[in-house]
Chain A
Amino acid sequence: MADEKAQKILEALGGRDNIIEIEPCITRLRCELEDGSVVDEKALKALGAHGVMRSGNVVQVVVGPEADTIASDIEDLL
């Protein structure tokens, strides 16, 4: 279920209140968060993320070419 995956990714990013902005870029979600430290990297990898890169409160989740779809599914949940 696509929506379920989006929901789980959102939870791993700290939930909707933690999201300032999510922007898809072909293979990755660039997430600007209120608090980058709460991101559950293990959960994101279990959901199929190839990698997670943190730079303070900006966290990039490499999800592969479905990034655009996942980002719009997450937007629908915000």
Chain B
Amino acid sequence: MSLRVGSPVAGRVVALSAVPDQVFAEAMVGPGVAVEPIRSKADVVSPLDGTVVTLHPHAFVVANADGAAILVHLGIDTVKRKGEGFELHVVKGEQVQAGQKIVTWDPAEVEAAGFAPICPVVALDASAEVLGDLALDADVVAGDALFDWSR
């Protein structure tokens, strides 16, 4: 079984190691990729079918019935924005489908406020070997495949 993980945002896919945050760059919470988002207001969508198990304005986790959990973090240190500029469209515990709108934000606004808007997309607690077909250096739109997760 392989789980296709879609991009939550439009932009350029880069290696997780390019993220200016040690926790993500060193894959401490799991492997994945990051997306350098297009700098305009946009909807962020779920990377997979599942349940919203954690929800903050600036980050969320969607887990499927198999227990595969994907973390999407919208920008670095954006917890300090305290929700400003993030408009949520779901509640914690809600069932969502891949491609469903989760939150609306503006990466340009985040950047103007002094934060890196790059978006880590992490397969929580996975080992690096189980991720394949990473779309590194590709330009993607929201919903395009980022990687496959062998389950």
When distances are taken between beta carbons in the complex, the residues of chain B under 8 Å from A51 are 22-23, 26, 28
Interface residue stretch chosen among A3-11, A24-32, A34-42: A24-32
Least distance between A64 CB and chain B CB atoms (Å) = 6
In the assembled complex, the CB of A30 is this many whole angstroms from the nearest CB of chain B, namely 8
Interface: A62 (CB within 8 A)? yes
Asked if B29 and A50 sit within 8 Å, CB to CB, the answer is: yes
Task: Name the interface size band of chain A.
Answer: 10 to 19
Interface size on B, residues (CB 8 A): 16
In-complex Cβ contact of A65 among B22, B61, B79 (8 A): B61
Answer yes or no: A77 CB below 8 A from chain B CBs.
no
Q: Check A27/B79 contact, CB under 8 A, given A50-B29, A65-B69, A65-B71.
A: no
Q: Does A26 lie within 8 Å of B28, measured CB to CB?
A: no
A64 to B23, CA, bound (A): 10
Residue of B22, B29, B71, B73 ringed by the most chain A CB atoms within 10 A: B29
List which B32-86 residues lie within 8 A (CB) of chain A: 53-54, 56, 59, 61, 69, 71, 73, 79
B136 at the interface (CB under 8 A from A): no
Question: In the docked arrangement, what's the CA distance between A3 and B56, Å?
Answer: 23
Cα separation A52 to B28 with both chains bound (whole Å): 10
Q: Tell yes or no: A20 within 8 A of B by CB.
A: no
In the complex, which of the residues B22, B26, B29 contacts A27, with contact meaning CB atoms closer than 8 Å?
Answer: B29
Q: Please, which residues of chain B bring their CB within 8 A of the CB of A30?
A: 79
Q: Does B124 contact A (CB under 8 A)?
A: yes
Interface residue? A53 (CB, 8 A): yes
Q: Which residues of B contact A50 (CB under 8 A)?
A: 23, 28-29
A73 contacts chain B at the CB level, 8 A cutoff? no
Docked-complex contact B125 and A68, CB < 8 angstroms: no
Contact A26 to B26, CB < 8 A, known contacts A64-B125, A65-B53, A68-B54:
no
Contacts from B to A (Cβ < 8 Å): 22-23, 26, 28-29, 53-54, 56, 59, 61, 69, 71, 73, 79, 124-125
Show 10 residue pairs from A and B whose CB-CB distance is below 8 angstroms, ordered by the A residue: A26-B54, A26-B56, A26-B71, A27-B23, A51-B22, A53-B22, A53-B23, A65-B69, A65-B71, A65-B124
